[in-house]
Chains A and B, each alone.
Chain A
Amino acid sequence: MLKVLIPTIMLFPTIWLTSPKWLWTTTTAHSLLIASISLTWLKWTSETGWTSSNMYLATDPLSTPLLVLTCWLLPLMILASQNHINPEPISRQRLYITLLASLQTFLIMAFGATEIIMFYIMFEATLIPTLIIITRWGNQTERLNAGTYFLFYTLAGSLPLLVALLLLQQSTGTLSMLVLQYSQPLQLNSWGHMFWWAGCLIAFLVKMPLYGVHLWLPKAHVEAPVAGSMVLAAVLLKLGGYGMMRMMVMLDPLSKELAYPFIILALWGIIMTGSICLRQTDLKSLIAYSSVSHMGLVAGGILIQTPWGFSGAIILMIAHGLVSSALFCLANTAYERTHSRTMILARGLQVIFPLTAVWWFIANLANLALPPLPNLMGELMIITTLFNWSPWTILLTGLGTLITAGYSLYMFLMSQRGPTPNHIMGLQPFHTREHLLMTLHLIPVILLVTKPELMWGWCY
């Protein structure tokens, strides 16, 4: 763990001491080095348990895929931001990359934490750099509103979590995940215990987001600059899923009865947000609502507490992280050229950007869960386990899959096909950097088809 954490902390001196000519090259190379070191985590020393060198930071098959995703995403974020940050003064550029690197540090410590309270502190700490990125570097005046919604939704959800964790510490004496997994099941039989159960989960459900409390997500994703959107969609949402999976271990048997409203909200949310996607005019807003839809499926899979549900949830989280981030990068390339996120203004792009049309095609096919990509793997496992839980869910999840295919194809056909309007003809051609960014997003998705054991979590 330290072999990744110390280079990540050393990224700060790298950012501030490099000469301005070499800033972006150096930071990209440094973060790629960290990403390649993080791949060594994938070799688990013990088959199902924790791999740790100390008591406080450890990796296990649940956190490792998310850690590798986080480390992989930092060079991609730096690559994506290069163009729109370039006009700014050099110290502001350094500050931007510092915010991304600090987000990386907090996320590594969050996913690697063994004490739940450390996870909570890092969970809250990731809010600050993200808020600064959204409200300072966003492009429209609505970014202030977006930052407010983002901060206060997440904070309001996580304050009960703090209380619940302190209560858990009082009753069991420890908050270490290494110990709690072996503890006796808690006696949960009163109204107070129900509130405690809700307090444990609401923070993560708001972060995921669950359908009823998802309002912060479209605002935050749309108003954030590209690196902010990437990290939000790819990793920060998964913090919620990861936290839920960790907390579910000790929340039985109350979850059997109390999970119903949340499962129903998640499933109905798939259909509702999918339908909203079909009516969007703003490209980034469409991708944001599709994130809510996929995360609804993940939430449903986790709340059911079956092995297939958990495995499906992790696979879908990793696959969705990469694909959603790729879609935001593509939307950003269109935004940088036309300075508008309206879908009808940037249409017919296939004629002038043919290679980029390939990336759009692959990313949209991955979004609609085309076999054999891991998106389908995760979705199919969750749909199957939901069917086992109650056969009536197939109506909701099947309709949800249909609507997902609908809006993914709508996004592709609207942006790529059709006659190219005249004002698009003179747009700047694509840079190698942008093609590299897209390949670095999509190649891991395709490679994961060949070795999905990396993502299955501890249930296999």
Chain B
Amino acid sequence: MRYHRNRIANYRETREYDAQRAANQNSLFVGACFLLFAVMATYKEASLATRPKTLDPAEYFNLSPDYRRAEEKRAALRAQLKRQYLQQLNNPHRKELIEDPALTRWTYARTNNNYFRPTAKTSLIGGLFGVLPLFALYLVFKTDRDKREAKIKAGTYERPYKLST
């Protein structure tokens, strides 16, 4: 995740630098969104297709300019992530797995127990499965063995197996 953020941070610096110099935009998607909100005329969908929601001006009819700017930034992030993934996916020399940060997070969460919190429910489960069986088993074994010991002392215990040792 840090890798993605660094890339986007670099991009953002580049973008602000470009904006300062009023240079061309880097990404076609970002350019389209920016121009859409500025001009709303450059994107033209195919003749029988519907316009995607993120580029439909009707969707943003009653939203504030702040929200539109935030939405534009999020679209830029998504576009960058998608671009990075597609670059890796279509690289003909790639042999290894594309690193999935969600998988890394999942394995880390599964193997490290930092995500355990003692609540009432977990304490009940822990006590029921971890503490209660120990005492229950102690009672079971102790009574069984004491009964056998009493029978041995009284002389009534029949040995069920004939073991030589």
Using CB atoms and an 8 Å cutoff, list the residues of chain A in contact with chain B.
142, 222, 260-261, 263-265, 267-268, 272, 281-282, 285, 307-308, 338, 340, 342, 345, 388-393, 396, 421, 423, 426, 459-460
CA A393 – CA B142 in complex, angstroms?
A: 12
A120 to chain B, nearest CB (A): 29
- A contact patch SS: helix
Q: Within the complex, which residue of A264, A390, A396 is in contact with B144, where a contact is CB–CB below 8 Å?
A: A390
Given A342-B107, A423-B95: A260 touches B134 (CB 8 Å cut-off): no
- B141 in contact with A426 (CB, 8 Å): no
How far is A307 from B129 in the complex, measured between Cα atoms in Å? 32
User: Within 8 Å CB of B133, what residues of A?
Assistant: 268
Chain B residues within 8 Å of A, Cβ to Cβ: 95-97, 103, 106-107, 110-112, 129-130, 133-134, 137-138, 140-142, 144-145, 161, 165
Distance of A291 Cα from B108 Cα, bound (Å): 22
> Do residues B97 and A345 form an inter-chain contact, with CB atoms below 8 A?
yes
Interchain CB contact under 8 A, B137 and A267: yes
Q: Which 9 A-B pairs have the closest CB atoms?
A: A423-B97, A426-B95, A264-B137, A281-B110, A307-B165, A390-B144, A390-B141, A342-B107, A282-B111
Per a CB cutoff under 8 Å, which of B103, B144, B161, B165 touches A392?
A: B144
Least CB separation from A145: chain B residue: B112
- Which residue of chain B lies nearest to A384 when distances are taken between CB atoms in the complex? B161
Q: Which of B111, B138, B165 contacts A281 (CB 8 A)?
A: B111
Chain A residues contacting B145 (CB-CB under 8 Å) are 389-390
Nearest chain A CB to B29 CB, angstrom units? 28
Q: Report yes or no: B134 in contact with A264, Cβ–Cβ below 8 A.
A: yes
Contacts of A142 in B (CB 8 A): 112
Q: A261 and B141: CB pair below 8 A?
A: no
Q: Summarize B's interface: helix, strand, loop or mixed.
A: helix
Across the interface, B142 reaches (CB within 8 A) one of A260, A268, A272, A308, namely A260
Residues of B within 8 A of A460 (CB): 165
Known: A260-B142, A390-B141. A423 touches B107 (CB 8 A): no
Question: Chain A's nearest CB lies how many Å from the CB of B52?
Answer: 30
Beta-carbon contact of A264 and B138 below 8 Å: yes
Q: Say whether, besides A285-B111, A388-B161, A459-B165, A342 and B137 are in contact (CB < 8 Å).
A: no
Residues of chain A within 8 A of B140, CB atoms compared: 390, 392
Q: In the assembly, what is the distance between CA of A307 and CA of B111, in Å?
A: 40
Q: Bound state CA distance, A264 and B138, in angstroms?
A: 7
List residues of chain A with CB within 8 A of the CB of B96. 423, 426
For A389, the chain B residues whose CB sits under 8 A away are 145
Which residues of the partner chain A approach B134 to less than 8 Å between Cβ atoms? 261, 264-265, 268
Nearest chain B CB to A48 CB, angstrom units:
13
User: What are 5 A-B interface contacts by the 8 Å CB criterion?
Assistant: A260-B138, A261-B138, A308-B165, A342-B107, A392-B140
Name the distance in Å between A265's Cβ and chain B's nearest Cβ.
7
Q: Which residue among B107, B110, B137, B142 has the maximum number of chain A CB atoms within 10 Å of its CB?
A: B137
Alpha-carbon gap, A46 to B141, bound state (A): 39
Q: Write the nearest CB–CB distance from B45 to chain A, whole angstroms.
A: 34
A168 vs B73: C-alpha distance in the bound complex, in angstroms? Answer: 75
Assembly CA distance A393 to B138 (angstroms): 11
CA distance A285 to B97 in the complex (A): 23
CB B114 to nearest CB in A, in angstroms, measures: 11
Taking A268-B133, A272-B129, A391-B144 as given, write out 20 further A-B residue pairs in contact, using a Cβ cutoff of 8 Å, ordered by the A residue number.
A222-B111, A260-B138, A264-B137, A264-B138, A268-B134, A268-B137, A281-B107, A281-B110, A282-B110, A338-B97, A342-B107, A389-B145, A390-B141, A393-B141, A421-B97, A423-B95, A423-B97, A426-B96, A459-B165, A460-B165
Which residue of chain B has its CB nearest to the CB of A388? Answer: B161
A264-B141 contact, Cβ under 8 Å, with A281-B107, A281-B111, A282-B111: yes
- Closest CB-CB distance, B121 to chain A, in whole Å? 18
Complex CA–CA separation, A145 to B134 (angstroms): 29
CB contacts (< 8 Å) of A260 on chain B: these are 138, 141-142
Q: Which residues of A contact B103 (CB under 8 A)?
A: 342, 345
A393: chain B residues at CB < 8 Å are: 141
Nearest opposing residue in chain A for B165, CB measure: A307
B77 to chain A, nearest CB (A): 26
| Residue pair A392, B141 in contact (C-beta under 8 Å) | yes
In the assembled complex, the Cα of A396 lies from the Cα of B138 at a distance in Å of 13
Q: A459 CA to B165 CA in the complex, in Å? A: 9
CB distance from B164 to the nearest CB of A (A): 10
Please give the distance in Å from A364's CB to the nearest CB on chain B. 22
A263, A272, A392, A459 — most chain B CB neighbours (10 Å): A392
